[in-house]
Amino acid sequence: MNLKINFLGSPNFEVVRNRPLKYIIIHYTGMKNQKDAIKRLQSKVAKVSCHYIISKKGKIFQLVKDKHVAWHAGKSKWKKDINLNINSLGIELVNKGHEIFPKSQINSLIILLKWLRRKYNINPAMILGHEDISPNRKKDPGPRFPWSVLKKNNLAKKR
């Protein structure tokens, strides 16, 4: 399967990434539908964004370029690193929060992660959920997220 990405853009990013890319953070949107989620990720008022969002059918959209800092993680910490927006890519999965992630969506995520991991030499141990880096505030991608499938593809180390 080819990697097809539609660029949509978002005003919510910073141009300068002053730490090298080290992490990929997985989220769910937690909103009632894809349209609203994208609208929020492009809203100057909401001041949130991500690099990629994947629809339930597996379509991949890009909101912020990889070289820019997207505002997806907020207050966050992993081992000695803090404020992981600066050195991470953020991927949102369209999901209300309690839904099963469709196979087509996970397949696209795996293709995207394989490509990004290779491109930026990301350690699979650094592919994490928002809940891992902001455990007191965040629950995404949640207990339904199939970490075992990622592990099988050498795209995660935990769990």
In the chain, which ranges are E strands? 5-7, 13-14, 23-28, 52-54, 60-62, 69-70, 77-78, 81-82, 88-93, 127-129
Q: How far is the CB of 75 from Zn ion (least distance, A)?
A: 12
- The reply to whether 132 sits near Zn ion by the rule CB under 5 A is no
> What is the spatial distance between Cα 6 and Cα 156, in angstroms, rounded to a whole number?
26
Candidates 58-66, 79-87, 125-133, 143-151 — which segment interacts with Zn ion by CB under 5 A? Answer: 125-133
Q: How far is the CB of 117 from Zn ion (least distance, A)?
A: 20
Q: For Zn ion, give the closer residue by CB, 51 or 130.
A: 130
Candidates 10-18, 56-64, 118-126, 138-146 — which segment interacts with Zn ion by CB under 5 A? Answer: 138-146
- The reply to whether 140 sits near Zn ion by the rule CB under 5 A is yes
- The reply to whether 27 sits near Zn ion by the rule CB under 5 A is yes
> What is the spatial distance between Cα 77 and Cα 70, in angstroms, rounded to a whole number?
16
Segment (H or E) for 104: helix 103-120
Q: Within 13 Å and on the Cβ side, how many CA atoms surround 39?
A: 6
Please confirm, yes or no, whether 92 is among the known catalytic residues.
yes
Can you give the binding site for Zn ion, defined by CB under 5 A?
Answer: 27, 130, 140
